[in-house]
Homo-oligomer: A and B are copies of this chain.
Amino acid sequence: MRSRPADACADCPVRDQAICAALDQDELNELSRIGDHRDYRRGDTIFAAGDEGIACATLISGAVKLSAMDAEGVERIVALVHPSGFLGQLFAATTALDAVALTDARLCVFPRPQFERLMADHPKLTRAILERTQTELEASRGLTRLIGRRDVKARLSGLLLALARAAAPTPCGQAMEFDLILSREEMASLIGTTIESVSRRLTELERDGLIERRGARGLVIRDALALETGEAVRG
């Protein structure tokens, strides 16, 4: 489904964080002209690995996972994309990763040929993409640090904090209560463990008072500091 109101950018929630933020009004108008809003439902595949990359997009709302299959046919998630993030391969002919909506999501989609023309004409746009890519690179390295931790409890704690930060309305500070956008299986895939271990560690973190579960997906962060350091509260 599509929609493209004339004043689309004016009230766009990621207007100031996405690549568009770097552009002046004329450039924004040009970009806006080739962009198309598109809505996806949770579980929808946005791009599939191996597809020709015919489009790229800014994520306006919702969350997306990027994943690949490993040798045994098990899904391995390599990144999460949050609002204002950029999706799509720019230089390679084909997409390397699956992009799947984790929640209902809205994208601002650009056909690649036109987008690349715009990049060629407007260095500022190229620069904006560069900054965005660097941000993603930093995020990816942050994830590398996270999943390099030796015990599952530490990896899971870090993941919960990362998800809490992402769920927070503002870039800083973290939501005390939020819904997990990942299933147990997805969490396990991301931090390199099994569904059962995720479940057990969650139970343990709850028993120790660091978190509280509200149903299967609801989560309350009760002690963010302890989650960071791996220490349970004493007394």
Contact = CB atoms under 8 A, between A and B. Distances in A.
A173 interface: no
Given A96-B138, A126-B126, A228-B71, A147 B145 contact: no
A113 B120 CA distance: 24
Given A71-B228, A130-B133, A144 B145 contact: no
Interface string A125-144: 01101110110111011011
Nearest to A137: B137
A167 B110 CA distance: 39
Interface of A is mostly: helix
17 contacts: A71-B228, A71-B229, A91-B131, A120-B123, A126-B126, A130-B133, A133-B133, A133-B134, A133-B137, A136-B137, A140-B140, A140-B141, A140-B144, A147-B147, A147-B148, A148-B189, A150-B192
B134 A91 contact: yes
Chain A contact-residue range equals: 35 or more
A23 interface: no
A154 B71 CA distance: 11
A230 B71 CA distance: 10
A148 B97 contact: no
A144 B155 CA distance: 13
A90 B128 CA distance: 12
A68 B133 CA distance: 20
Nearest to A129: B130
